[in-house]
Structure 1
């Protein structure tokens, strides 16, 4: 979730600390910083602008109600996004329950909303994770996974040895596995849950 580009406003961590102390000013700053983006995010799933605003407003009501018991929230944007996801899931579940026999289509994508949300989350986290890689690791990794270059071709491109390329890619994979651990399929879940549509990307990235 993008943070305001205004460097004069407080950081999220400061706002969270102030909110936990009951600051209405901190709440107002958080609302103005995240409201529009959260509304757009919500609308992308339910395609109803008024309802998207209502659901996001519910999130901020809950945020204010929980201000004294928020615990160790470290990522404000992520925390609010999860709250919106829960609102979306509840709304869709209620709608489907109330319109079982209705021909009206809520205009939600065919694959499950949960899968699409997780797919978008993965793409966003992958972008952030790649940006954290050391420059040479990032270059070697992207040439391998996204440009489909062989290690020999990458070695020529980067003017290093093939073993040097292997070391850079290996280091990249190690770092990315940590950053993207929540998205990686586990042996426990793979037999119970449908394969998410973005797992093909995960497999490509983490292939041996």
Structure 2
């Protein structure tokens, strides 16, 4: 397991200095979380794992060039979003259909693009939430944890959890409305 006292920023700095143990620690710390986030965008387990693995490979390959101007967690989630969007673009570019089913697939593709656009807009709005609100919302809605479980995990009251979820949902609704969703 990994030491939670060591900051993500410290691990990134160490990775930049070719420290493979720090790379493994960061991987262990974020792999599952990033997979959950990317799965919400792609809705495909294999593609999700490919994207997150590609992200970490890219992180290692470009370790000497990494400059983080924000917190490392936000940096990793933005990378994940970028790689996931790239995956969506690549897949839609190379999707071919038999001619006799063209009408059906065109309809399906339009609906899929709308769903992808909504999912991207939703996760963009989630990214804009304050860190604690985002964490609570993802634990509740993505991981499926009960409010009491989240309360115990984050050592904050159940009432605070309820408020965080309610406020987050209100902010998401407003953000999506502004995006025309």
Instruction: Say yes or no: TM over 0.5.
Output: yes
Aligned position for 2:39: 43
Q: 1:109 to 1:67 in 2, by over 3 A?
A: same
Q: Which runs of 5+ in 2 are unaligned?
A: 135-162, 168-173
**2:127 aligned to which of 121, 125, 129:** 121
Deviation of 1:121 (Å): 1.2
1:46/1:88 contact within 8 Å kept: yes
The residue aligned with 1:199 is: 178
Runs of 4+ in 1 over 4 A off after TM superposition: 104-109
Q: For the residues of structure 1 that align with 2:32 and 2:76, how far apart are their CA atoms?
A: 12
Aligned-pair CA distance for 1:22: 0.8
Are 1:88 and 2:94 an aligned pair?
A: no
The whole-number CA distance in structure 2 between the counterparts of 1:91 and 1:10 is 32
Instruction: Give the C-alpha shift of residue 126 in structure 1.
Output: 7.9
Greater gyration radius: 1
Residue 124 (structure 1) shift:
4.5
CA drift of 1:13 comes to 2.2
Number of residue pairs matched?
A: 136
TM-score, normalising length: structure 2:
0.61
Preserved contact between residue 2 and residue 28 of structure 2 (Cα < 8 Å): no
Equivalence for 1:181: none
